[in-house]
Amino acid sequence: MLKIEHVNITFNKNTVNERRALQDVSLTLESGDFVTVIGSNGAGKSTLLNVISGTYEADSGNVLLDGKDITYLKEHRRARKIGRLFQDPLKGTAPHMTIEENLGLAYSRGKKRGFSMGVKKSDEEFFREKLRELNLGLEDRLKTPMGLLSGGQRQAVTLLMATIVTPALLLLDEHTAALDPKTAEQVMRLTDEIVKEHKITTLMITHNIKNALEYGNKTLVMSQGKALMMLEGQERANMTVEKLMELYSSTAEDSFTDKMILD
Ligand SMILES: Nc1ncnc2c1ncn2[C@@H]1O[C@H](COP(=O)(O)OP(=O)(O)OP(=O)(O)O)[C@@H](O)[C@H]1O
Ligand SMILES: [Mg+2]
């Protein structure tokens, strides 16, 4: 379970560039919740994920993961429990290391034994099986350097790395936005399968409103640093892109930006 309590963060305090990126944000994710996050540019979506991952420290408020207060826990210590994907497929993997070495690195995370350069035969079989499930033909390319893969393939492997040891929380920041539409859909479907299979508590930022309503079980709408609303249950089930736009403009002080993909 993830609990965010009254989190505030202001960048460049007392300068002309002062930005209240998060304003009294509170929200709760139950175990297994898959929450999609939408909002205009600069709404504070990435900042919210950064505060949860420990990249930024909140000015005030608390972050609790599985009952433990992690507000001041260092980022690298949270990383054992939190899987993360970004828009850029280059982030999160070592390009000169092979697929199996990258998976080995991810697999050793959170385990007592440290990472060793060699990959054990039994692990190799396990990785091959996991790669086969991606359906991208990568199971025969264990020795291929990550840097040689396409963006979509790399993002799929990064997703595997983030979830090969089931994380307490998965944070996805527009992880399909840099991919072509067909590949984006493929990676989105893979994400959905993996999240559902392991019941991973997930926060996924997307600019694709249709995806936001289609995937997951709740949708968080953010505007100007605030958590405007959490759609769930029947209200969400009945929500359409058009209705959501109307709801947004009648509630938020700004409007949806053109970066949003509406269909
Ligand atoms: N490291 C930083 N230093 C200064 N200002 C920042 C920093 N990170 C974010 N901001 C500002 O905080 C606000 C929220 O930014 P954030 O990146 O969280 O928005 P977002 O909702 O992810 O937007 P987008 O859809 O464009 O990715 C913006 O005004 C942004 O300029
Ligand atoms: Mg962002």
Structure tokens at 41: 């540019």
CA separation for the pair 6, 8 (Å, rounded): 7
pLDDT band at residue 221 using 50, 70 and 90 as cut-offs: very high
For tokens 């509170």, the residue is 26
CB atoms under 10 Å from CB of 77, counted, come to 11
Which pLDDT score, from 0 to 100, does residue 93 have?
Answer: 83
If you average pLDDT over residues 109-113, what whole number do you get?
A: 63
Which pLDDT score, from 0 to 100, does residue 253 have?
Answer: 86
For 35, how many CA atoms within 13 A lie in the half-sphere containing its CB? 25
Best of 45, 208, 248 to mutate for ligand 1, by most ligand atoms within 8 A of CB?
45
CB-based contacts of 182: which residues, under 8 Å, 6+ apart?
Answer: none
Structure tokens at 116: 């060793």
Average pLDDT, the chain: 92
The ranges of the chain annotated as CATH 3.40.50.300 are: 1-81+168-181+199-263
Q: Select 1-81+168-181+199-263's CATH number: 3.40.50.300, 3.40.190.10, 1.10.3720.10, 2.30.40.10.
A: 3.40.50.300
Nearest C-alpha to atom 8 of ligand 1 is from which residue?
47
Task: Name residues contacting ligand 1 (CB within 6 A).
Answer: 11-12, 19, 21, 39, 41-47
Is 185's pLDDT higher than 60? yes
Is 170's pLDDT higher than 70? yes
The greatest distance separating any two alpha carbons of the chain, rounded to the nearest whole angstrom, comes to 58
Q: Comparing 1-15, 87-101, 133-147, 192-206, which segment has the lowest mean pLDDT?
A: 87-101
Position 81: which residue type?
K
Nearest to 39 by CA among 202, 237, 231, 195: 231
For tokens 């420290």, the residue is 57
Whether the Cβ atoms of residue 71 and residue 63 lie closer than 8 Å to each other:
yes
Distance from Cα 46 to the centre of ligand 1, integer Å: 7
Is 128's pLDDT higher than 60? yes
Whether the Cβ atoms of residue 159 and residue 204 lie closer than 8 Å to each other:
no
Of the two residues 5 and 116, the one the predictor is more confident about is 5
SS3 20: strand
